[in-house]
Amino acid sequence: TGTTPRIVVSRWIPDDAVALLREVGEVWLPEPDRALPAAELHEVLAGADAAVVTLSERVDAAFADAAGPGLKVVANVAVGHDNVDVPALAERGITVTNTPGVLTDATADIAFGLLLSVTRRLGEGERLLRSRTPWSFHLGFMLGSGLQGKTLGVVGLGQIGRAMAARAQAFGMSVVYTGRRRAPADVEASLDATYLPQDELLATADVVSLHCPLTTETRHLIDAEALAAMKPTAFLVNTTRGPVVDEAALAAALREGTIAGAGLDVFEHEPDVHPGLLDLDNVALAPHLGSATVETRTAMATLAARNVLAVLAGEPPLTEVTP
Ligand code: 8YV
């Protein structure tokens, strides 16, 4: 009937979340594994009251216009929302929500996993074995870098940055951080994290881990100059958004030994990876797996669905993104 809300889901989401959405509306779902081109998605959006999207969808004025005046809420199944033009949607009275909190540990786990992978040369070792290359153990074989006693530099001390700091401390590292603003003194003390201006952090950290959102200010935050400011023994970890790093500059820095290595879950031109990175052994790579666990993706999608349900019921959303 005309009163049943139309809810468009752009990509596969876990069944629990679909079931929640079906409690209140007619749900349009894509075929599993299918990425809908924008033009097709825009057709499907016509008449939608709500949309559930991922980072792969560009949500802008054209998206809102394709849905029409009935669109009330766009729930991004992600904590990052650089894919959404929040002001353009706010102007049209459309609520935008994201999924903070539920992916904090999963993402910090992948950041730390990539760090261990690159510092202990796990990927390189696995490639050696899989290539059937003969090898023999000796005391100087495939030596990596230890983390104990080293310093982690967190860029962006939000929930994920703090979870990364806790993991580093459990591994015997000390923690410094930088960001737009300093954490309150009690937060700093409880985290045992010291604030440093970015240039000082880059010059002193043994590991620089990026946890800031992608914004106009953070695009290419790590460029050739920032990489040159890091220690030649330092490692870079990126689990936030690829464009925070100038990937061509990073590939050059890794090749030339400007820094020791990198662990990357995200890429500047996803899903493409800079070809200069693919042949280097001092980089650990993952295909955007930060939040990719069964538990976390279920929690993210059900949070997105609950946001849709709240807005359609005229209630405040749980986790709103405001311009
Ligand atoms: C998501 C992410 O899986 O939350 C984010 O910002 O990058 C990932 O956790 C991805 O964005 C899917 O929308």
> Pseudo-torsion of CA 87, 90, 95, 98, nearest 10°?
10
Q: Is 270 a catalytic site residue?
A: yes
Ligand 1 centroid, distance to 273 Cα (angstroms): 18
Under 8 Å between Cβ of 119 and 313: no
On the question of a common fold for 6-101+294-321 and 104-285, the answer reads yes
Pocket of ligand 1 (CB under 6 A): 54-55, 77-80, 103, 290-291
Mutational pocket test of ligand 1: of 55, 83, 267, the residue with most ligand atoms within 8 Å of the beta carbon: 55
Work out which ligand 1 atom sits closest to the CA atom of 76.
13
Q: Which of 11, 121, 211, 241 is catalytic?
A: 241
What is the model's pLDDT at position 32?
86
Q: Can you give the pLDDT of all 323 residues of the chain as single tens digits?
A: 458 999 999 999 999 999 999 999 999 999 988 888 999 999 999 999 999 999 999 999 999 999 999 999 999 999 999 999 999 999 999 999 999 999 999 999 999 999 999 999 999 999 999 999 999 999 999 999 999 999 999 999 999 999 999 999 999 999 999 999 999 899 899 999 999 999 999 999 999 999 999 999 999 999 999 999 999 999 999 999 999 999 999 999 999 999 999 999 999 999 999 999 999 999 999 999 999 999 999 999 999 999 999 999 999 999 999 99
What ipTM was predicted for this assembly? 0.95
Element (H, E) at 104: helix 104-119
pLDDT at residue 2 in the model: 54
Residues 219 and 246: beta-carbon distance below 8 Å: no
Ligand 1 centroid vs 219 CA: distance in angstroms?
Answer: 17
Catalytic pick from 81, 274, 288, 306? 288
Check residue 187 and give its pLDDT. 87
Q: Global pTM?
A: 0.97
Fold type of domain 6-101+294-321:
Rossmann fold (3.40.50)
Residue 214: what pLDDT?
98
Q: What are the domain boundaries of the chain? A: 6-101+294-321, 104-285
CA of 141 to the centre of ligand 1 (A): 38
Backbone angles phi, psi at 303, to 5 degrees: -65, -45
Instruction: Please tell me whether the peptide bond between 287 and the residue prior to it is cis, using omega within 30 degrees of 0.
Output: no
CATH topology of domain 104-285: Rossmann fold (3.40.50)
Q: Distance (Å, rounded) from C-alpha 91 to C-alpha 323?
A: 10
